[in-house]
Amino acid sequence: MRTFQVRAGGGLITSAERPVPSPSAGEVLVRVKASSLNARDLLIVTGRYSVDVPPGRIPLSDGAGVVEAVGDGVSRFRVGDRVAGTFHPTWLYGPFPEWGQLRGTHRDGWLTEYIVLDEQSAVAVPDHLTFEEAATLPCAALTAWSAVSGVGPGDALLVQGSGGVSVFALQLARLAGARVLATTSSDAKARRLSALGASDVVDYTSTPEWGVRVRALTGGGAERVVEIGGAGTLSQSIDAVAHGGQIALVGNLAAGDGMDVNRFFRRAATLRSISVGSRGDFERMNKAIAQNRLRPVIDRVFPFDQAPEAFSHFAKGPRFGKVVISH
Ligand SMILES: NC(=O)c1ccc[n+]([C@@H]2O[C@H](COP(=O)([O-])OP(=O)(O)OC[C@H]3O[C@@H](n4cnc5c(N)ncnc54)[C@H](OP(=O)(O)O)[C@@H]3O)[C@@H](O)[C@H]2O)c1
């Protein structure tokens, strides 16, 4: 089978041939139909991730496909089922356990024609989604689902930018009945965020004090801020969050000094760190996506042969939503 793998020295990816794996007891063989990129994957293939990734590792944590064979004792899936993998392969339910062996870092990922999964680390995907759409769910959508959880009608939620997690957070918070505000860096993206249901969009490049602006627009701050920038944006998020609200700490895309602890105390807000979500969360999210026929926002789909170009496109920007590879 054809795969792409991490090059030595952090130089993106190179193609390779490997034997098709066979499923052991409790495992399923999946013919991969699509995969998708996350910020983490770019760090991995450029040698900048916090975990050492050996050359030869097949990248990508996220993908979807069709079950082509099942090992002994498999009961969750049958041949022909449409499935996606979970980001945390061993986190099934309950609170976040220890970090496990993740795909794309500790074990091979989805940028390949076939993958073997423990049946416990796969979920069925909503019928109305294409494989390209389903491949966007495991990390970005589920992270957004976790970051948005608990928000409802009467709440205001702020998303930062128009990347994979933020666009899903906007869509899911709108489903939950919340008002959504967004920041972004261009008029064209602002229009697209408004079309998806954002009530207000603030350009964070021309309005560096966007936290104050969000506070004014919401009459006291957003009950939830989905924090994408991390150290470089937390200070504005503290201005943007309502008294007693919550900052869901997702990313660290923006370099900076971190937060002013005294100002944070005065907000009486909570900072909650997010680590994607469990399989149970994924299944519940898929129900919500199916019931509401939500469609993921895809920036661009690249054919499998052009996987290196997909990474270059992801690295360059500008983009809106998810970058997908069709296998
Ligand atoms: N904790 C978790 O479970 C988890 C899961 C997934 C991802 N993450 C992390 O979350 C972050 C986002 O992931 P992603 O996959 O959504 O990334 P992405 O698709 O690469 O997001 C890129 C977008 O983020 C926006 N952005 C960048 N810097 C910004 C800033 N200073 N202020 C506001 N927006 C900014 C930009 O939006 P505009 O172009 O609109 O300006 C940019 O297009 C990454 O740090 C990633 O590692 C964490």
Query: What gap in Å lies between CA 104 and CA 284, rounded to an integer?
Result: 25
Q: Which two tokens stand for residue 148?
A: 């948005």
Confirm or reject: Cβ of 229 under 6 Å from ligand 1: yes
pLDDT above 90 covers a percentage of the chain that reads 92
If you measure from the C-alpha of residue 78 to the centroid of ligand 1, how many angstroms do you get, rounded to a whole number? 36
Which of 228, 249, 250, 323 has most ligand 1 atoms within 8 Å of CB, for mutation? 228
pLDDT band at 255 (very low <50, low <70, confident <90, very high): confident
Q: Tell me the pLDDT of the chain averaged across its residues.
A: 96
pLDDT band at 43 (very low <50, low <70, confident <90, very high): very high
Confirm or reject: Cβ of 43 under 6 Å from ligand 1: no
Query: What gap in Å lies between CA 163 and CA 64, rounded to an integer?
Result: 20
Residue nearest to atom 42 of ligand 1 (CA): 163
If you measure from the C-alpha of residue 197 to the centroid of ligand 1, how many angstroms do you get, rounded to a whole number? 19
Model confidence pLDDT, tens digit, residues 62-115: 999 999 999 999 999 999 999 999 999 999 999 999 888 999 999 999 999 999
pLDDT at 12: 84
Query: What gap in Å lies between CA 208 and CA 284, rounded to an integer?
Result: 37
Provide DSSP, 168-216. HHHHHHHHTT-EEEEEES-HHHHHHHHHTT-SEEEETTT-TTHHHHHHH
Model confidence pLDDT, tens digit, residues 126-155: 999 999 999 999 999 999 999 999 999 999
Residue nearest to atom 34 of ligand 1 (CA): 161
Work out the average pLDDT over 194-220.
Answer: 98
Is the Cβ–Cβ distance between 322 and 60 less than 8 Å? no
CA distances (Å), origin 17, targets 3, 112, 245, 308, 318: 6, 9, 51, 16, 32
Which of 253, 271, 272, 323 has most ligand 1 atoms within 8 Å of CB, for mutation? 253
Residue nearest to atom 22 of ligand 1 (CA): 163
Residues 6+ apart with CB under 8 A from 325: 34, 35, 36, 37, 60, 111, 135, 301, 302, 303, 304, 306, 307, 310
pLDDT band at 10 (very low <50, low <70, confident <90, very high): low
Task: Report the DSSP pairing between strands 322-326 and 82-85.
Answer: unpaired
Which of 35, 36, 37, 38 has most ligand 1 atoms within 8 Å of CB, for mutation? 38
pLDDT at 100: 87
Residue nearest to atom 35 of ligand 1 (CA): 161
H runs (alpha helix) in the chain: 39-45, 131-134, 142-148, 164-175, 187-195, 210-218, 234-240, 261-267, 279-291, 307-316
Model confidence pLDDT, tens digit, residues 277-320: 999 999 999 999 999 999 999 999 999 999 999 999 999 978 99
Domains identified in the chain and CATH numbers = 2-136+296-326 (3.90.180.10), 142-273 (3.40.50.720)
Confirm or reject: Cβ of 40 under 6 Å from ligand 1: yes
Q: Which two tokens stand for residue 266?
A: 């005065």
Is the Cβ–Cβ distance between 58 and 102 less than 8 Å? no
Number of other residues whose CB lies within 10 A of the CB of residue 28: 25
Measured from the Cα of 275, ligand 1's closest atom is 3
Task: Report the DSSP pairing between strands 82-85 and 62-70.
Answer: antiparallel
If you measure from the C-alpha of residue 166 to the centroid of ligand 1, how many angstroms do you get, rounded to a whole number? 7
Confirm or reject: Cβ of 61 under 6 Å from ligand 1: no
Which of 37, 103, 166 has most ligand 1 atoms within 8 Å of CB, for mutation? 166
